[in-house]
Structure 1
Amino acid sequence: MRIDDMKPGPELDRICGEVVFNKSGLELSREFLPAYSTSWEGMRLVVEEMQRRGWDYRIESYRGDVSFAFLQREHEGYSEEVGTELPYIATLAAIKALQGSEYDGTD
């Protein structure tokens, strides 16, 4: 399944744990997995980790939609998602920023 087709929830959170936090599948199975894609606290963890890695972020809203983007400070990296659920689009933007838009959730 392509990352764009995934809904917020445990499977997307697992992928976020692997990609953003560099955790292995074994590590993820042994510990509590934060709700990165469905909670404000989870989104905060994602944003802080991306900032630690050298990415800034931008949030904009317009007519009910929200845009969340990560921008790399030192390079030309950029990843943006638009939607209505901020933790979900922040999680997608982080995964795509680090793995590219073609990430299919099988790595």
Structure 2
Amino acid sequence: MMEHDVRSMQPGPELDRQIDEVLFGRTFTEFPRGFCYHNGRGWREAAPYSTTWEGMGLVVEEMQRRGLDVHIDFVTFGRNKLVDCAIIRNGLEMAHLSMMPNAPHAVAMAALLALLALLALRGGEQG
């Protein structure tokens, strides 16, 4: 997956699945009703990381566990309320998204961009 692919992703199941695969290391299987992963007790769909504050919180917590800081700024321009999100590691900005319509979408996309950048730096290894 390339940066331009991530930047064009809308909030929803596809972005959520990418977060689950890259951030949490889950493997999905395609079923007639959609994609699911097995959690040891049963089949589950990806959590709504890019559409809910609860899902966003899971992403932020895992990023922090990995030593990455998540900076979220809320910006108001007249009637428009927009979100900027940056992912920082050791003082280095790994990803930055500006003027996003909502925080969960901004955080999910920035996290995915930062993780893909880290994977590229490490030569593709996950973790």
Q: TM-score, normalised by structure 1?
A: 0.82
Out of 3, 10, 19, the position equivalent to 1:7 is 10
1:105 alignment partner in structure 2: none
Counting aligned pairs with the same residue, the percent is 37
1:28 aligns with 2:37: yes
1:23 to 1:77, Cα distance in 2 relative to 1, 3 A: farther
Q: CA deviation at 1:68?
A: 1.1
2:122 alignment partner in structure 1: none
Secondary structure of 1:24's counterpart equals: coil
Q: CA deviation at 1:23?
A: 1.1
Q: Structure 2: where are the runs of 5+ without partners?
A: 30-35, 118-127
Greater Cα shift, 61-70 or 43-52 = 61-70
In 2, the alpha carbon distance for the partners of 1:51 and 1:3 equals 21
**Higher relative contact order, structure no. (Cα contacts within 8 Å, ≥ 6 residues apart):** 1
- Kindly report structure 1 stretches of 4+ aligned residues shifted beyond 3 Å: none
Q: Structure 1: where are the runs of 5+ without partners?
A: 101-107
Greater Cα shift, 4-13 or 57-66 = 57-66
In 2, the alpha carbon distance for the partners of 1:33 and 1:94 equals 16
RMSD: 2.1
Aligned 8 A contact 2:97 2:110 in 1: yes
Task: Report 1:1-107 matches (<5 A).
Answer: 2-26=5-29, 28=37, 30-63=43-76, 64-73=81-90, 76-82=92-98, 83-100=100-117
In 2, the alpha carbon distance for the partners of 1:62 and 1:33 equals 29
Q: CA deviation at 1:77?
A: 4.6
- Number of aligned positions between the proteins: 100
More strand by share: 2
Secondary structure of 1:36's counterpart equals: coil
